[in-house]
Amino acid sequence: MSHRGSRVLRLDALARVEGEAALHLTVHDRTVAEAQLRIYEPPRFFEAFLVGRGHGEPPDITSRICGICPVAYQMTACQAIERACGVTVDGPLAELRRLLYYGEWIESQSLHIHLLHAPDFFGHSSAVELAREHRGAVERGLRIKQAGNAIMERLGGRAIHPINVRLGGFYRVPAPAELAPLAERLRRAHDDALETVRWVAGFDFPDADYDGPLLAMRDPGRYAIDSGTPAVMAAGADSDGAPVRGFPVAEFERHVVERQVPHSTALVSELDGHHYLTGSLARYAVSGRWLHPSALDAAREAGLGDPATGAVCRNPFRSIVVRAVEVAHAVAEALRIIDAYEPPSRPYAAVPPRPATGCAATEAPRGLLYHRYAMDAEGTLTLARIVPPTAQNQAAIEYDLRRQVQSRLNRPGEPPGDEELTALCERAVRNHDPCISCSAHFLDLTVERG
């Protein structure tokens, strides 16, 4: 809508993202005055109804927060409660947990790459349209996703909301013979994953740069997924000499502060007073040098630079390439775990309750996920705190929207029409793969009664 040099662009429903959200963009005289990612999906109060539950229940309950990334919630909940109870899960059980997490990474990242994100680069409105032109690529992506689902079914009992995870490990662990069919499938998926990296590397990427801080888990020697401590790559840093500072998981809420805004049912996060980005670009910046060798070679060939020498990718449009590299890494690492697997002596370690508080963070496909729980002597939860990736990224997405739209408006010539700006905004949001449903379970409720 145009009026006296001003335009208000409203997108009442975003397509090809998980969940429900809208965009509101205001432009005055070719200057972006406001960009809002309006998360209007109803809050679901998970933190509130976890209070009063037994300490063994959060892994099953929190997995219902997201049907695409349930394992991330299960693993983070398990680690937080185990730390509160003074229990460490290691050895084969820890490797099995990582294998299950890799299954989720494979299926979730492949879904976003092929069905949600890739259509943008060809001007298509859906994956169905994309498949008419690039049927082989879409089928390849579905094969990779199915390999990830197969891991989740084997270890978790089913692909969506796995039921085999419990505190201390699993209700049942597989025999080596049960994992052998997965290995055969993953070997084919590894070839498909490397081919996907080559495919997406050939896309036409607009110039863009996210210049804010990047936050990801860091565990020197490995590409962090379910271990390590939070680490921050400074704003604008792009070399091996760039400062990377870390802090203990227990100090997460000192650095990451959430606040409510009128237009969102998700809280908006700031890292030491600044918007920041978590997710694939942040992980690649912080831990890229520890990718599996095959994935590291693929990253170099894809033009991402050499993370072993400090290369950082800050172009949100190229996040699709980083995700593809992460899929190749996850497949290769899953194969490594299966090849070396020896069953643990028991399927789980006992996790007896005690009055304590514990917290943990892991890397969901969309970014860093944080949980904190407190319990009494009987194991009844007295507090639950969950900070999902999209809630952390909301301010960064809005910042990215403003910058990208402003950059387009600054070009000489006729200003872009609403249709062009709409397409640009939708692409900018999908670059970050937001999980709206994951983020919309926060709400501070104040009731005033006379």
Which of 134-138, 352-356, 421-425 is the least confident region? 421-425
Q: What is this structure's pTM?
A: 0.93
Whole-angstrom distance, CA of residue 74 vs CA of residue 356: 20
pLDDT tens digit sequence for 249-294 = 999 999 999 999 998 888 899 999 999 999 999 999 999 999 999 9
- Whole-angstrom CA distances from 152 to 48, 161, 253, 328 are 28, 9, 31, 17
Is pLDDT at 347 greater than 50 in this prediction? yes
Whole-angstrom distance, CA of residue 405 vs CA of residue 201: 24
- Calculate what percentage of the chain has a pLDDT beyond 90: 75
Which of 107-111, 203-207, 259-263 is the least confident region? 259-263
More confident residue, 88 or 35: 88
Q: What is the dihedral of CA 302, 304, 305, 310, to 10 degrees?
A: -150
- Tokens 């082989």 correspond to what residue? 136
- Whole-angstrom CA distances from 401 to 25, 52, 101 are 9, 41, 31
Helix (H, G, I), strand (E, B) or coil at 328: helix
